[in-house]
Amino acid sequence: MLVRGHQAVAFRTAFTITGDAAEAEDAAQEAFVKVYRTLERFRSGAPFRPWLLTVVANEARNRRRAAGRRVGLTLRAAEHESQTTAPTSPETVVVVDERRAELLGAVEGLREEDREVISLRYFLELTEAEAASIMGCARGTVKSRLSRAVGRLREKMMEAQDAAG
Amino acid sequence: MQPDRDLDRELRDLGSRVEYPSTPDLAGSVRSRLDSEAGRPASPVRSGPSLWWLAAAAALVLLVALPVFSLAIRGTGGGMAMGGGAADSGGGGAVDESRTVPLMEEQEDGPSGGASSSAGALAGQAGTSSASSADAATGYPAEDGESEADSAGGATPGYSLGLGERITLREASARSEAPILLPRSPNPGKPDEAYDRVGAPGFILLYRAGSGLPDLRVPGVGNTGIGLVLTETSGDVGRAYLAGGTVRGAGLETADVDGGQGYWIPPGVDRLTVARSLGPSAGVLLWERDGQALRLEAGVSKKEAIRIAESVR
C-alpha cells in the first residue's frame, strides 16, 4: 500500500529528471527500498511524500548523470475537448494542438533546472514545499526560480513566433 | 516578476495533457527485491502482503500516529517525571529502570546491506550542499532568490533525512517568539541549514560535521555529513519532545545543564522513533533554557553534549 499509494508520482518525478522510463523505474524502485530501510529515521509528524520524492529525485539525478540521455515528454493523443461546451472547428483544434506542441517543445528546450521546476509545479502539480524539498532549496526560491523559468519560456515562445514570421 | 498569466494558464492546461510512460508495478518489484535481499525466495505472486511490508507499514503508521498518543510522562523538572530521577548516573551505561520511560515495540534495523550502496549517494549530497550555499562565510542559503551555485542541484543532508521543510534562518526567526539560540561551542556561528518542524511548532538547525562534531552515520545510509542537529521550540521538554515519544529497552538519564535538569538519551543503546531522527549513532540531550525546549542530537559524549548545551545562548 505504501508503494502503490505513491508509485505514480514517484515514477513521474523520476522520469521528469531522467527523461528515460527504464532509468526512472530503477530510480523509483531504489528510492522505495532506501526509504523502507530508513523508515526508523522518519520523523513523526513530517510529511512522508516530500521525503520520498527527495530520495527519488536524488536517485534519478545519479542515473541521469550516468545515462546522459533523455527522451522528451509527449502529448497524449488529442481528445479534442469533447467535454467542452462550445463546439470547436477542426481548424481551431489543429491550431490549439500545434500551440500545445510548440509550448511543450519550448519547455523541453529549456535548461535543465527551468524544465525541472516547470514540470514539478505545472505537470506533476507538486506543492511548492514538495518542489523545494526535491530541488534542495527554500520555498521562496522555488517561486523565484519558477518565475524566471516561465519568463525564459515566454522569450523562447516569442522568438519562435518571430522566426515563423 | 509575475508569471505571464496566459502562459501560466497554458502550462496548467498542458500539464493535464502530457503523456508519461505507464507507471510500472513498483510495489511488486520492490517487494521482490526486499525479499531477495532478506534471503527469501522472491515471490511475485502472493496471496497477501509479506511480513516485511506489514512491518514497514506498521512502522510508518506508528511513526505518523505516535504524536496523538500521550506517554503520560509527568512530574518533576521540565514537566517530565521519572521516579527517582534525581541522581545522574553520569554515564551511558546501566540505567535505573525506575528512570526508564515506558516503552513501545519497535522493529529492529532493516537489512544492513544498504550501507555501502547508499553511503556514496548521501556523501555526494553533502558535497553538493556546500556548493549550493550562497553565504560563503556561513554556508547558509540565500534568503531570497538563488545563486547559480544554488541551482546546481542536489539535496542537502537534512532533506535526505526528512527533517522537514527547509527554511531560511530569517524565516526560522520569524516563526519563533523567542530569539534563536545558537551554540557557541564547538563551532560558533550560523547553522548550515534550518528546517521548519512540519506538523509541530519550532524549527530545526543543522550543523555539518567537523570542528569536533563527528559525521553521523545512519544504518542503511552511511555517512550523512551532519554533525549536530539542534531543535528549538517553546514550552517544556516533556510536551515538546516526549509526549507520544517512545524508547524501547533503554532509559533516559538526567543531565545537569547550567544547573537545570535536562535529559540524556545515550547513543547506541536506544531507538527513539520520535525523539531521534538520526539513528543509534547519535546521543540526544533535552533541556530547557529561557522558556525554550531544546533538543540536541550529535555523535558526542554526554559530557560534550552538555558542554555544547551550556554554550547555547
Helix (H) or strand (E) holding B265: strand B260-265
Which regions of chain A are under pLDDT 50? 79-85, 87
pLDDT at A78: 52
Cis peptide before B179 (omega within 30 of 0): no
- Out of A7, A136, A153, name the one closest to residue B156 (CB): A136
pLDDT at B246: 45
| Predicted confidence (pLDDT) at residue B243 exceeds the cutoff of 70 | no
Using CA coordinates, name the residue in chain A closest to B9.
A122
Q: Which residues contact A161 (CB under 8 A, 6 or more apart)?
A: none
Lowest-pLDDT range, A42-51, A123-132, B58-67, B216-225?
Answer: B58-67
| Predicted confidence (pLDDT) at residue B259 exceeds the cutoff of 80 | yes
Indicate the residue type of B213.
Answer: L
Whether ipTM exceeds 0.90: no
Q: Which of B231, B236, B235, B191 is nearest to B213 (CA)?
A: B191
Q: Cα B125–A114–B164 angle (5° rounding)?
A: 45
Q: Report the distance separating Cα B214 and Cα B281, nearest Å.
A: 10
Contacts of B118 in chain A (CB under 8 A): 34, 37
Q: Do A34 and B220 touch (CB under 8 A)?
A: yes
Q: Do A38 and B220 touch (CB under 8 A)?
A: yes
Lowest-pLDDT range, B42-51, B71-80, B93-102, B215-224?
Answer: B93-102
Using CA coordinates, name the residue in chain A closest to B125.
A58
Mutation choice for B interface testing from A6, A20, A33, A153 by most B CBs within 10 A: A33
Q: Is B259 exposed, middle or buried (0-12, 13-18, 19+ CB in 10 A)?
A: exposed
| Predicted confidence (pLDDT) at residue B28 exceeds the cutoff of 80 | yes
- Out of A62, A140, A151, name the one closest to residue B1 (CB): A151
Q: Cell match 515514477: residue? A: A11
Average pLDDT across chain B, whole number: 61
pLDDT tens digits, one per residue of B80-108: 323 222 222 333 322 222 222 222 222 22
Q: Is B123 exposed, middle or buried (0-12, 13-18, 19+ CB in 10 A)?
A: middle
Q: Do B11 and A103 touch (CB under 8 A)?
A: yes
**pLDDT band at residue B242, thresholds of 50, 70 and 90?**
low
Q: Do A103 and B165 touch (CB under 8 A)?
A: no
CB environment B292-308: b (16+ within 10 A), e (fewer): bbbbbbbbbebebbbeb
Q: Do A39 and B199 touch (CB under 8 A)?
A: no
- What cell does B70 get? 500521550
Could you tell me if B257 and B210 are in contact, meaning their C-beta atoms sit under 8 angstroms apart?
no
Helix (H) or strand (E) holding A51: helix A48-67
Alpha-carbon dihedral angle through residues B303, B304, B310, B313, given to the nearest 10 degrees: -160
Whole-number Cα distances in Å, B117 to A34, A119, B216, B292: 10, 29, 17, 39
Q: Do A138 and B167 touch (CB under 8 A)?
A: yes
Could you tell me if B310 and B227 are in contact, meaning their C-beta atoms sit under 8 angstroms apart?
no
| Predicted confidence (pLDDT) at residue B237 exceeds the cutoff of 50 | yes
Q: Do B199 and A73 touch (CB under 8 A)?
A: no
Q: Do A21 and B21 touch (CB under 8 A)?
A: yes
- For residue A38, report the phi and psi dihedrals to the nearest 5 degrees: -115, 20
Distance from CA of B87 to the nearest CA of A (A): 30
Of A25-29, B50-54, B75-79, B97-101, which has the strongest mean pLDDT? A25-29
DSSP B109-145: ---TTHHHHHHHHHHHHHHHHHHT-S-TTT-PPPSSS
Q: Which of A46, A23, A31, A125 is nearest to B15 (CA)?
A: A125
> Rounded to a whole number, what is the distance in angstroms from the first to the last CA of chain B?
39
pLDDT at A43: 60
Q: Is B176 exposed, middle or buried (0-12, 13-18, 19+ CB in 10 A)?
A: middle
Cα B191–chain centre separation: 15
Assessment of whether the complete model's pTM goes beyond 0.90: no
Check residue B293 and give left, alpha or beta (phi > 0: left; psi -120 to 50: alpha). Answer: beta
Q: Do A50 and B171 touch (CB under 8 A)?
A: no
Using CA coordinates, name the residue in chain A closest to B119.
A34
Could you tell me if A128 and A16 are in contact, meaning their C-beta atoms sit under 8 angstroms apart?
no
- Out of A40, A50, A58, name the one closest to residue B273 (CB): A40
Q: Do B24 and A25 touch (CB under 8 A)?
A: yes
Mutation choice for B interface testing from A43, A130, A147 by most B CBs within 10 A: A43
Q: Report the distance separating Cα B127 and Cα B154, nearest Å.
A: 9
- Out of B27, B59, B165, name the one closest to residue A129 (CB): B165
Contacts of A56 in chain B (CB under 8 A): none
Distance from CA of B112 to the nearest CA of A (A): 8
pLDDT tens digits, one per residue of B274-299: 444 566 667 888 899 888 889 998 88
Of A148-152, B113-117, B191-195, which has the strongest mean pLDDT? A148-152
Q: Which of A76, A150, A157 is nearest to A117 (CA)?
A: A150
pLDDT at B31: 83
Contacts of A76 in chain B (CB under 8 A): 17-19
Q: Report the distance separating Cα B127 and Cα B121, nearest Å.
A: 10
| Predicted confidence (pLDDT) at residue B301 exceeds the cutoff of 50 | yes
Other CB atoms within 10 Å distance of the CB of residue A103: 20
